[in-house]
Amino acid sequence: MSRRGRLHHLELWMDDATSDHGPWPWLLQRLGYTLDSTWATGRSWANGDACIVLESGDHHVRGHQDRLRSGMNHLALWAGTRDQVDAVAAEAVQHGWTLMFPDRHPYAGGPDSYAAYLEDTCGFEVELVAQDMTSS
């Protein structure tokens, strides 16, 4: 299978990129990512051949992420079955995440999409998508 067009890596610039604790390390570990490397201004997390890099480099401008501005709106990740999506979403609030659109959860993306939309305290949004529409 060709890797052409698939995610190689995603780099997010954020204020707390070097922390081993907090919402992002917890979520990435919970979804099967492992810490791949660390350096003075960041960390990289790997899952198979995909990598998510959290960086606070020398040129990083600190501040709140606004998903409605030009740039990244959100990151969508496969999160397993509906039950697994529900479990991660339930745990996420104790790890710095807020459930977005709670009145429409888990169908905030429409009737054909089962997902949890989470936002961290810096304004980054993550969509955790179920791989199927049946519970298991």
Name every residue whose Cβ is closer than 8 Å to that of residue 120 and which is 6 or more positions away in sequence: 23, 24, 96, 97, 98, 126
Q: What is the pLDDT of residue 96?
A: 94
Is the pLDDT at 1 greater than 80, yes or no?
no
Residue 93, domain extent:
9-129
Residue 92 within any structural domain of the chain: yes
pLDDT, tens only, 22-51: 899 999 999 999 999 999 999 999 999 899
d(CA 16, CA 133): 35
pLDDT, tens only, 72-92: 788 999 999 999 999 999 999
User: Considering the entire predicted model, what is its pTM?
Assistant: 0.84
Residue 3 within any structural domain of the chain: no
pLDDT, tens only, 46-73: 999 899 999 987 777 777 777 777 677 8
CATH number, domain containing residue 34: 3.10.180.10
- Number of domains the chain contains: 1
Question: What are the tokens at 88?
Answer: 């991660």
Residue 82 within any structural domain of the chain: yes
Residue 86 within any structural domain of the chain: yes
Is the pLDDT at 135 greater than 70, yes or no?
no
